[in-house]
């Protein structure tokens, strides 16, 4: 070994120690959704079970202990760096912790492995996170939106609107949100955050009355979908005037013991969530993007089985429920932390 090689070896960065977090006995890879479990089948049975348990545990504790959830995802990445759902999960946790550069890199890798644009909204928002709203808009325009599912179209519209706001283009931000899914009469699972984002931009424009109206619609949609007990529910919202309410009340009094009308149920379409991997958001920073990348790359080099990832598509399905105006409910959370 030459002197130069020796110096390079001594100066080489040392990967930080990573201790696997404890896995409780009641957690199982079967807790993951079917698509994620299918991707893990390319691993040995024992490794697939371990990776699956770490991902499932991350999904379980994500809200209460995001740092612990991130540690579980890192443990999964060390063992299955070539699996699409693992890279996707790592990107999601990085995004949620504010490490947008790492999130962007992992999302690009996931896109290359899976061929999927399902996480395009997160990529656009990550570009915003690193201070490149122009690049965010360019990325969002690079894909034909008609090829995306309705839920991804909505997520992309919200992210693009946020990029417009970053640039001070408030009018254009409103236009980005005026998509077919902005229908006040029908609420899909993604409608509350879309309505709320639209209300926020209206407020930025000083149109407070309209903003309040859309916030009320967001609350009604959120309450209706929550009452259905199904995130994939499609709800038809019938807005009624006060005079109509009084007339209905009088008619109900005259009717005496007549039964209330049954809700009307019709077929509808529902969207798949932005985070199909089963993860929502994490709130603790990754120590070093390069270190994380080294971990994943080493895992890829030592993976027990080569992976061929195929895309699986699922048909969104839903039912539609007719409801009347309810009293004002609690406002839903914003879709994007940067919107």
DSSP of 34-96 = HHHHHHHTTS-HHHHHHHHHHHHHHHHHTTT-HHHHHHHHHHHHHH-TT-HHHHHHHHHHHHH
| Residue 5 domain-assigned (yes or no) | no
304 — pLDDT class (breaks 50, 70, 90): very low
| Residue 332 domain-assigned (yes or no) | no
Helix (H, G, I), strand (E, B) or coil at 204: helix
120 in Cβ contact with 152 (< 8 Å) = yes
Query: Regarding beta strands 318-324 and 234-238, do their DSSP bridges make them parallel or antiparallel, or are they unpaired?
Result: parallel
- Whole-number pLDDT of residue 311: 41
Give the count of alpha carbons within 13 A of 10, CB side only.
7
Structural domain span for residue 64:
20-324
Report residue 187: phi and psi, to 5°. Answer: -115, 115
243 or 237, which is more confident: 237
Structurally, how many domains does the chain consist of? 1
pTM equals 0.65
282 — pLDDT class (breaks 50, 70, 90): very low
| Residue 103 domain-assigned (yes or no) | yes
For residues 234-242, average pLDDT: 51
| Residue 58 domain-assigned (yes or no) | yes
- The distance of Cα 85 from the centroid of its chain, to the nearest Å, equals 14
For residues 116-135, average pLDDT: 97
For residues 111-131, average pLDDT: 96
- State the CATH number of the domain containing residue 268: 1.25.40.10
- Whole-number pLDDT of residue 39: 94
Task: Tell me: pLDDT of 301 over 70.
Answer: no
| Residue 13 domain-assigned (yes or no) | no
Lowest average pLDDT, out of 182-196, 249-263, 325-339, goes to 325-339
Task: Tell me: pLDDT of 9 over 60.
Answer: no
| Residue 224 domain-assigned (yes or no) | yes
Closest CA to 237 of 215, 218, 221: 221
| Residue 330 domain-assigned (yes or no) | no
| Residue 334 domain-assigned (yes or no) | no
């Amino acid at each position: 070994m030459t002197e130069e090689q020796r110096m390079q070896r001594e100066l080489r960065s040392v990967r930080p120690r990573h201790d696997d977090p404890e896995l409780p006995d009641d957690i199982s890879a079967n807790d993951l959704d079917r698509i994620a479990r299918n991707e893990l089948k390319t691993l040995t049975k024992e490794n697939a079970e371990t990776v699956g348990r770490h991902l499932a545990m991350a999904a379980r504790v994500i809200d209460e202990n995001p740092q612990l959830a991130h540690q579980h995802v890192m443990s999964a990445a060390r063992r299955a760096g070539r699996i699409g759902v693992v890279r996707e999960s790592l990107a999601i946790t990085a995004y949620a912790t504010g490490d947008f550069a790492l999130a962007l890199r992992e999302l690009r890798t996931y896109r290359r492995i899976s061929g999927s644009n399902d996480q395009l909204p997160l990529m656009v928002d990550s570009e915003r996170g690193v201070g490149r709203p122009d690049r965010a808009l360019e990325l969002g325009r690079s894909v034909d939106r008609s090829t995306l599912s309705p839920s991804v179209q909505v997520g992309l519209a919200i992210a693009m609107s946020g990029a417009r706001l970053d640039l001070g283009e408030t009018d254009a931000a409103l236009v980005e949100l005026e998509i077919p899914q902005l229908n006040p009469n029908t609420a899909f699972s993604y409608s509350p955050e879309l309505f709320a984002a639209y209300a926020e931009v209206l407020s930025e424009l000083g149109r407070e009355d309209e903003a309040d109206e859309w916030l009320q619609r967001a609350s009604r949609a959120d309450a209706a979908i929550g009452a259905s007990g199904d995130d994939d529910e499609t709800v038809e919202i019938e807005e009624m005037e006060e005079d109509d309410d009084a007339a209905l009340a009088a008619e109900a009094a005259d009717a005496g013991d007549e039964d209330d009308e049954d809700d009307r149920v019709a077929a509808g379409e529902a969207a798949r969530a932005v985070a199909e991997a089963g993860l929502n958001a994490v709130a603790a920073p990754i120590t070093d993007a390069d270190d994380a990348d080294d971990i994943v790359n080493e895992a890829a080099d030592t993976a027990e089985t080569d992976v061929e990832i195929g895309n699986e598509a699922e048909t969104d399905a839903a039912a539609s429920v007719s409801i009347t105006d309810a009293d004002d409910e609690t406002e839903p959370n914003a879709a994007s932390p940067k919107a």
